[in-house]
Amino acid sequence: MGDIAEEVPLELRDISREPRVKPKNAPRKITHTITLVPAGYVNSLWFEVRDFLGPAVARTKGRWNMEYLHAAILNEQQHLWLAFDQDNKIEGVGTTEFVNYPCKRYVGYSILGRFQLQ
């Protein structure tokens, strides 16, 4: 129990000059579009997106439930985002919130959900 852990030397190397997998300006395949849902549209989408959010809300261990998350999105304390494919099928849903600090304001994600891939 009282054994001292063996010290492992830490090796750092500069990778800034190593080749990239793809050049920065290489063409990329766009597979999904991510968009913010205005609060006024949340109710019309809620029954479709709540199935995405349910498993993620369950993993919050009681910090959130669906009723409070829905209210927070409607009150714009949380912001609802959708990821949809080229056929406009929703494949992912997430929420973000602003986190205020004395000198800065950040956006943090709260809940992320998606359908299981087949």
Q: Which residue has the higher pLDDT, 55 or 26?
A: 55
Q: C-alpha angle 34/35/40, rounded to 5°?
A: 155
- pLDDT tier, 113 (very low <50, low <70, confident <90, very high otherwise): confident
Look at residue 43 and tell me if it is in a domain: yes
- Compute the average pLDDT of residues 39-65: 91
Mean per-residue pLDDT for 87-109? Answer: 89
Q: How far apart are CA 106 and CA 37, in angstroms?
A: 19
Within a domain: residue 18? Answer: no
Quickly state the pLDDT bin for 96 (edges 50, 70, 90): very high
Residue 7's pLDDT is what? Answer: 67
Q: Counting Cβ atoms within 10 Å, is residue 95 exposed (0-12), middle (13-18) or buried (19+)?
A: buried
Q: Is residue 47 part of a domain?
A: yes
Name, in order, each residue with C-beta under 8 angstroms of 83's C-beta and a sequence gap of 6 or more. Answer: 32, 33, 34, 90, 91, 92, 93, 94, 114
Domain count, the chain: 1
Residue 90 lies in a domain: yes
Would 105 be classed as within a structural domain? yes
Residue 35 binned pLDDT confidence (cut-offs 50, 70, 90): very high
Token readout for 75 is 């009150």
Position 20 in a domain: no
Quick: pLDDT tens for 61-84: 899 999 999 999 999 999 999 998
8 A C-beta contact, residue 102 and residue 60: no
Rounded distance between C-alpha atoms, residue 84 and residue 74, angstroms: 21
Domain that holds residue 81: 33-114
Query: Any idea what the CATH number is for the domain that residue 66 is in?
Result: 3.40.630.30
Residue 116 has pLDDT above 60, yes or no: no
On whether residue 73 sits in a domain, the answer given is yes
